[in-house]
Amino acid sequence: MAFVERVVTEIEWNAENKGREVTGVLVSVETVQYIDGPGIIYTVKGAKPGEVIRFKGATRLNQRIHKTDVGKKIAIRYNGEDKSKEMKPGMNAPKDFIVLVDEAPESKAITDDDLPEGF
């Protein structure tokens, strides 16, 4: 049995992390309750052994990542704030992301019908 230390990295989508990329397998989409309302936290199993990445949702992430994506490979790139639209006073600019999800069909289980005759 080989044990691997799990290292959890929490990411904040802020100016410091502009250009940050997250790649791995989406392992959970959790609905949480904050003081100012509900939110979402995503957990990704990273490419390195034991790497776990967690981050809060943002409007554009929540529109592009779904609970049905759990178990799929994903890649996310944070491009910073989208300042292309004029914002109302007191509103924050939306966060801009590129989200890729591996939509390859899942492999089906092998049945007796798939085996050569006489096997």
* Span 21-65, pLDDT tens digits: 999 999 999 999 999 889 999 999 998 989 999 999 999 999 999
- Please tell me the distance from the alpha carbon of residue 37 to that of residue 56, in angstroms, as a whole number: 13
> Letter for the amino acid at 116?
P
Q: Cβ distance 56 to 40 under 8 Å?
A: yes
Q: What's the confidence (pLDDT) of residue 38?
A: 92
- Please tell me the distance from the alpha carbon of residue 97 to that of residue 19, in angstroms, as a whole number: 9
Q: How far from 82 is each of 12, 63, 85, 89, CA to CA, in Å?
A: 16, 16, 7, 16
Alpha-carbon dihedral 17, 53, 23, 44, rounded to 10 degrees: -140
Q: What's the confidence (pLDDT) of residue 72?
A: 93
Q: Which two tokens stand for residue 91?
A: 């509103």
Q: What's the confidence (pLDDT) of residue 119?
A: 45
Which CATH number does 7-106 carry? 2.40.50
Which residue has 């989208």 as its token pair? 82
* Span 65-117, pLDDT tens digits: 999 999 999 999 999 998 887 777 877 888 999 999 998 765 555 555 555 55
- Please tell me the distance from the alpha carbon of residue 29 to that of residue 108, in angstroms, as a whole number: 25
Q: What's the confidence (pLDDT) of residue 51?
A: 95
Q: Cβ distance 42 to 58 under 8 Å?
A: no
Alpha-carbon dihedral 2, 69, 47, 80, rounded to 10 degrees: -140
